[in-house]
């Protein structure tokens, strides 16, 4: 019997603290698998966010540096500019990436900063208890949008990935989902592509991953994966939005 | 002919989310009667007809499942 | 530029050149008057020496870029002025918590709010009391000459590495613009602790983490005490000050930075009229040279604190003397630069009042 699926090497044996059915856990594994497969452990640095994934450094067996809420892309810029030989990625939630850290994110992308962002969109603030996120969809109830998000009061879901795809500095921009095994595998391929983009020095790469938060969506794990596919993917269409394959001049 | 395989489930890692059960095309996994140390009914492998497709492991958030192919 | 030479230099350029020669690999900053000459100088010089200059999209971004570079193990700095320094406070708190070295230049302008772009000392509290959240301290140098601006900027990179802490250079618009002849020299090599904490990829070594989150309260308490021990060490080793004509002084004026330059002029004036007045100038405002201030009370019975604010450092002086001498205050906030004549009149007034 041949073992064909087991724990990636660059994850420590520590069990995840995430809730049952949480997308962060699946995504951690995917990122770790890609690091293993691309043999990046000795040169990669991860920047976890303030958010549910703040403890990512307890799981990844790679160098990791915490960033203040939203500042991941600025910290990553400092790393990449001083150690261009290293592969730098931020791992950020929607609040981190698209609310408090919008400026850092957009400008890093616009500079064509040669870093990768893995952006976990679960349409809520997970860590702080399920408040409204910039990505919360219209009608979605959260603890701070108890009547469901209303466009005339709370505004519209922010599609930061689409915005970033319009920036010349962005080299690879894609949105994926964790809703099914096929989509999970596609997410892994997309992350690989993003790291390859960075290795090739092509510019900023971003993978937005639609991810379930059963706890704050207040539904079961199974239902949350359905909701992901049936609701969130409607609001946030999957696909590669931008792919640059050759280096631009200065 | 479809591949044949088997899986192991680390029941102490399992949080009982049932994703493996939902996505297994062979109904080869079910919820166990007993509880683990976390106090959840973990998933257990029904020792038959696994086709080593890895779908359960791909979806398992806890990396509790290992898959073997014959 | 040659190894060691005397040249006329503007304050802002002196800061930049000192940083370059201190081995600063990365500069990140956001424009704000009156310190724009620093990023302008750095944008040219860092390019010349093949290092990193990057204009961040904000002060928040810039300080976090500094944090990333520091965690990657290189010498990094940023510069700003009052409103921008306010935005950097979160980053300073993280740098202190993570024990990362960094140099922050703070060219203080009039405030609060947007205030104005004139020289001010209204940010003393912010600079010396941590400014950001949490129980931390940060060494703060307050140079009063362009030579000092050069020397302390250079030295602050070593202090940052030795203690693994952010270090601030506190100046004001006047210091930034002033042109003086200075000796431009190379950094002296000294033994520094190995940077065994840096992140550069876990190649043939265990992976490392740099973080500030410590959920366990006991561990957090231990971390706070560890920082405290480090700050105590700084309190013993770092204080610096200058005494000018204090030996026989009955009245001592205490001032730092630009205010001290003015006060020195005033002291010279009143001395020529026979008044025994001296100047005490803290060079480090954190740690405050409180022992030196205390021992001054043996000689002088009246202290006059002069600041370009409504009175902030005066608190530190009063704490240091704990009631042993009269501690008076004179201040000009808002960007006013009083003349030495004005200060000598104030000195003369106290001289009469106190019947010295
Ligand atoms: C400056 C600052 N403001 C607020 C917080 C509190 N906070 C921590 S995480 C978070 C939002 C988390 O949501 P998200 O980024 O979507 O990540 P998730 O937890 O859902 O993965 C907030 C508001 C903080 N840590 N720092
Ligand atoms: S709150 Fe949501 S995002 Fe956070 S760990 Fe739980 S399920 Fe995951
Ligand atoms: S490998 Fe496939 S068939 Fe086997 S248990 Fe898992 S999901 Fe079911
Ligand atoms: S997917 Fe994993 S955690 Fe969820 S029930 Fe199955 S084995 Fe347990």
Question: In sequence order, which residues have a C-beta less than 8 Å from that of residue C84 and are 6 or more positions away?
Answer: C30, C32, C59
Supply the DSSP string of A122-160, one letter for each residue.
-SEETTTTSEE-TTPPBT--BTTBTT-B-HHHH-PPP-H
Residue corresponding to tokens 């001592």: C252
In a domain, A13, yes or no: no
Closest to C242 measured CA to CA, from C180, C284, C196, C197: C284
Residue corresponding to tokens 């990094």: C76
DSSP-derived secondary structure letter, C156: H
The Cα C136–Cα C90 span in angstroms is 12
Task: Decide if C202 and A42 are in contact by the 8 Å CB cutoff.
Answer: yes
Number of other residues whose CB lies within 10 A of the CB of residue C33: 13
User: Is A68 near chain C, with CB under 8 Å?
Assistant: yes
Task: Decide if A64 and C61 are in contact by the 8 Å CB cutoff.
Answer: no
Residues of A in contact with C204 (CB under 8 A): 42
Of C26, C64, C201, the CB nearest to A86: C201
In a domain, A199, yes or no: yes
Task: Render pLDDT for A152-168 as a digit per residue (tens, 0 to 9).
Answer: 999 999 999 999 999 99
Compute, in angstroms, the gap from residue B53 CA to the centroid of ligand 3.
5
Q: What is the mean pLDDT of residues A216-234?
A: 98
In a domain, A200, yes or no: yes
In a domain, A53, yes or no: yes
- Residue with CA at minimum distance from ligand 1 atom 5: A69
CA of C267, closest CA in chain A: separation in Å?
Answer: 47
- Phi then psi for A120, rounded to 5 degrees? -95, 105
Contact (CB, 8 A) for A225 and A212: yes
The Cα A120–Cα A28 span in angstroms is 11
Compute, in angstroms, the gap from residue A220 CA to the centroid of ligand 2.
12
Number of other residues whose CB lies within 10 A of the CB of residue C194: 7
Q: What is the CA radius of gyration of chain A?
A: 17
A vs B: CB pairs below 8 A: 71
Q: What is the mean pLDDT of residues A26-35?
A: 98
**pLDDT at residue C165, as a whole number:** 98
Task: Render pLDDT for A86-139 as a digit per residue (tens, 0 to 9).
Answer: 999 999 999 999 999 999 999 999 999 999 999 999 999 999 999 999 999 999
- Given a cut of 90, whether residue A248 has pLDDT beyond it is no
Number of other residues whose CB lies within 10 A of the CB of residue C152: 23
Look at residue A243 and give its three-state secondary structure. strand
Compute, in angstroms, the gap from residue B15 CA to the centroid of ligand 3.
18
Sign for the pseudo-dihedral over CA of C28, C29, C35, C41: positive
Residues of B in contact with A7 (CB under 8 A): 63, 66
Q: By CA distance, what is A222's nearest residue in B? A: B19
The Cα A114–Cα A205 span in angstroms is 8
The Cα A225–Cα B18 span in angstroms is 11
User: Is A57 near chain C, with CB under 8 Å?
Assistant: yes
Tell me the average pLDDT of chain C. Answer: 97
Closest to A174 measured CA to CA, from A189, A156, A152: A189
Task: Decide if A71 and C61 are in contact by the 8 Å CB cutoff.
Answer: yes
Q: What domains, with CATH codes, occur in chain C?
A: 5-237 (3.40.50.970), 242-353 (3.40.50.920)
How many domains, in total, are found in chain A? 1
Number of other residues whose CB lies within 10 A of the CB of residue A214: 22
User: Is B55 near chain A, with CB under 8 Å?
Assistant: yes
Residues of B in contact with A3 (CB under 8 A): 66-68
- Given a cut of 60, whether residue B1 has pLDDT beyond it is no
Tell me the average pLDDT of chain B. Answer: 95
Of A43, A79, A106, the CB nearest to C72: A79
- Given a cut of 60, whether residue C43 has pLDDT beyond it is yes
**What is the helix (H) or strand (E) element at residue C78, kind and residue range?**
strand C76-81
Q: What is the mean pLDDT of residues C204-227?
A: 98
Of B58, B61, B68, the CB nearest to A1: B68
When pLDDT is cut at 50, 70 and 90, the band that residue A247 belongs to is confident
Domain that holds residue A159: 24-243
Supply the DSSP string of C298-346, one letter for each residue.
TT-SEEEEEESSSSSHHHHHHHHHTTSSEEEEEE--TT----HHHHHHH
Cα-to-chain-centroid distance, residue C179: 19
**pLDDT at residue C3, as a whole number:** 67
Cβ-based burial of C153 (10 A; exposed 0-12, middle 13-18, buried ≥19): buried
- Both tokens assigned to A108: 């890093």
pLDDT above 70 covers what percent of chain C?
A: 99
User: How much is the pTM?
Assistant: 0.97
- Given a cut of 90, whether residue B3 has pLDDT beyond it is no
Task: Render pLDDT for C293-330 as a digit per residue (tens, 0 to 9).
Answer: 999 999 999 999 999 999 999 999 999 999 999 999 99
**pLDDT at residue A227, as a whole number:** 98
Question: In sequence order, which residues have a C-beta less than 8 Å from that of residue A174 and are 6 or more positions away?
Answer: A190, A193, A194, A206, A207, A208, A239, A240, A241, A242, A243
Tell me the average pLDDT of chain A. Answer: 97
Residues of A in contact with B18 (CB under 8 A): 220-222
- Given a cut of 80, whether residue A250 has pLDDT beyond it is no
Closest to A119 measured CA to CA, from A128, A109, A132: A109
The Cα C199–Cα A181 span in angstroms is 34
Residue A67, domain CATH: 3.40.50.970
In a domain, A10, yes or no: no
Compute, in angstroms, the gap from residue A69 CA to the centroid of ligand 1.
6
Q: Which of residues 3-42 of B touch A (CB under 8 A)?
A: 5-6, 13, 15-19, 22-23, 40
Task: Render pLDDT for B4-48 as a digit per residue (tens, 0 to 9).
Answer: 999 999 999 999 999 999 999 999 999 999 999 999 999 999 977
- Given a cut of 80, whether residue B2 has pLDDT beyond it is no
**pLDDT at residue C148, as a whole number:** 98
Task: Choose between C131 and C74: higher pLDDT.
Answer: C74
**pLDDT at residue C246, as a whole number:** 97
Name the CATH code of domain B5-69 (choices 3.30.930.10, 3.30.70.520, 2.130.10.10, 3.30.70.20): 3.30.70.20
Supply the DSSP string of A191-236, one letter for each residue.
HHHHHHHHHTT--EEEEEEE---HHHHTS-HHHHHHHIIIIIHHHS
Supply the DSSP string of C217-279, one letter for each residue.
HHHHHHHHHHHHHHHHHHHHH---EEEES-TT-SEEEE--HHHHHHHHHHHHHHHHTT--EEE
Q: Is the peptide bond before C112 cis (omega within 30 degrees of 0)?
A: yes
**What is the helix (H) or strand (E) element at residue A103, kind and residue range?**
helix A102-110
Residues of A in contact with B55 (CB under 8 A): 181
The Cα C74–Cα C288 span in angstroms is 29
Look at residue A10 and give its three-state secondary structure. coil
Beta strand B65-69 with B43-45 is unpaired
Contact (CB, 8 A) for C326 and C303: yes
**pLDDT at residue A25, as a whole number:** 98
User: Is C207 near chain A, with CB under 8 Å?
Assistant: yes
CA of A113, closest CA in chain B: separation in Å?
Answer: 31
CA of A85, closest CA in chain B: separation in Å?
Answer: 31
Closest to C138 measured CA to CA, from C107, C120, C164: C164
Task: Render pLDDT for C239-271 as a digit per residue (tens, 0 to 9).
Answer: 999 999 999 999 999 999 999 999 999 999 999
Substitution site in B18, B21, B28 for ligand 3 pocket (most atoms within 8 Å of beta carbon): B28
Q: By CA distance, what is A22's nearest residue in B? A: B61
């Amino acid at each position: 019997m041949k073992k064909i699926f087991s724990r990636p090497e660059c994850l420590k044996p520590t069990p995840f603290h995430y809730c049952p059915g949480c997308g962060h856990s699946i995504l951690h594994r995917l990122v770790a698998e890609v690091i293993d497969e691309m043999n990046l452990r000795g040169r990669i640095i991860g920047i976890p966010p303030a958010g549910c994934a703040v403890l990512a450094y307890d799981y990844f067996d790679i160098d990791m540096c915490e960033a203040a809420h939203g500042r991941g892309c600025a910290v990553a810029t400092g790393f990449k500019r001083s150690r261009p030989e290293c592969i730098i990625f931020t791992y950020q939630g929607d609040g981190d990436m698209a609310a408090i850290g919008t400026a850092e994110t957009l400008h890093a992308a616009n500079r064509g900063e040669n870093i990768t962002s893995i952006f976990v969109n679960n349409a809520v603030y997970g860590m702080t208890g399920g408040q409204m996120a910039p990505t919360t969809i219209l009608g979605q109830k959260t603890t701070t949008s108890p009547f469901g998000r209303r466009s005339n009061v709370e505004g519209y879901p922010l599609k930061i990935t689409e915005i970033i795809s319009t920036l010349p500095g962005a080299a690879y921009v894609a949105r994926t989902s964790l809703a099914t095994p096929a989509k999970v595998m596609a997410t892994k391929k997309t992350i690989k592509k993003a790291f390859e983009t960075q290795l090739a020095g092509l510019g900023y790469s971003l993978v937005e991953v639609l991810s379930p938060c059963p706890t704050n969506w207040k539904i079961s794990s199974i239902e949350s994966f359905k909701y992901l596919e049936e609701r969130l993917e409607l609001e946030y269409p999957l696909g590669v939005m931008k792919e640059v394959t050759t280096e631009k001049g200065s | 002919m479809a591949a044949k395989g088997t899986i192991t489930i680390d029941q102490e890692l399992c949080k009982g989310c049932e994703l493996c059960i939902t996505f297994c095309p062979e109904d080869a996994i079910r919820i166990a009667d007993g509880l683990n140390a976390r106090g959840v009914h973990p998933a257990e492998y029904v020792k038959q007809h696994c086709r080593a497709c890895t779908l359960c492991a791909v979806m398992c958030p806890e990396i509790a499942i290992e898959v073997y192919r014959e | 530029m040659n190894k060691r030479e005397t040249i006329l230099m503007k304050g802002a350029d002196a800061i930049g050149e000192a940083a370059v020669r201190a081995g600063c690999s990365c500069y990140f900053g956001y424009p704000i008057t009156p310190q724009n000459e620093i990023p302008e100088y750095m944008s040219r010089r860092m390019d010349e020496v093949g290092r990193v200059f990057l204009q961040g999209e904000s002060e928040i971004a810039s300080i976090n870029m500094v944090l990333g570079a520091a965690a990657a193990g290189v010498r990094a700095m940023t510069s700003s002025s009052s409103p921008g320094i306010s935005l950097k406070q979160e980053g300073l708190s993280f740098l202190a918590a993570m024990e990362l070295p960094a140099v922050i230049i703070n060219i203080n302008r009039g405030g609060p709010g947007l205030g104005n772009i004139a020289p001010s000392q209204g940010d003393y509290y912010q600079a010396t009391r941590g400014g950001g959240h949490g129980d931390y301290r940060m060494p703060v140098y307050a140079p009063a000459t362009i030579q000092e601006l050069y020397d302390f900027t250079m030295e602050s990179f070593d202090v940052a590495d030795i203690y693994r802490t952010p270090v601030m250079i506190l100046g004001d618009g006047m210091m930034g613009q002033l042109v003086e002849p200075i000796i431009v020299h190379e950094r002296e090599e000294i033994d520094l602790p190995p940077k065994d904490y840096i992140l550069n990829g876990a190649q043939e070594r265990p992976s490392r983490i740099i973080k500030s989150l410590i959920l366990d309260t006991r561990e957090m308490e231990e971390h706070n005490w560890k920082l405290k021990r480090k700050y105590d060490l700084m309190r013993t080793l770092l204080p610096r000050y200058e005494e000018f004509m204090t030996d026989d002084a009955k009245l001592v004026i205490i001032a730092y930075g630009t205010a001290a330059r003015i006060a020195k002029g005033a002291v010279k004036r009143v001395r020529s009229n026979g008044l025994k007045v001296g100047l005490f100038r803290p060079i480090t405002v954190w740690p405050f040279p409180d022992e030196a201030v205390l021992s001054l009370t043996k000689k002088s019975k009246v202290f006059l604190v002069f600041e370009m604010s409504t009175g902030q450092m005066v608190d530190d002086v009063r704490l240091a003397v704990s009631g042993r001498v009269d501690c008076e205050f004179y201040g000009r906030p808002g960007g006013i630069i009083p003349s030495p004549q004005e200060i000598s009149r104030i000195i003369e007034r106290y001289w009469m009042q106190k019947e010295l």
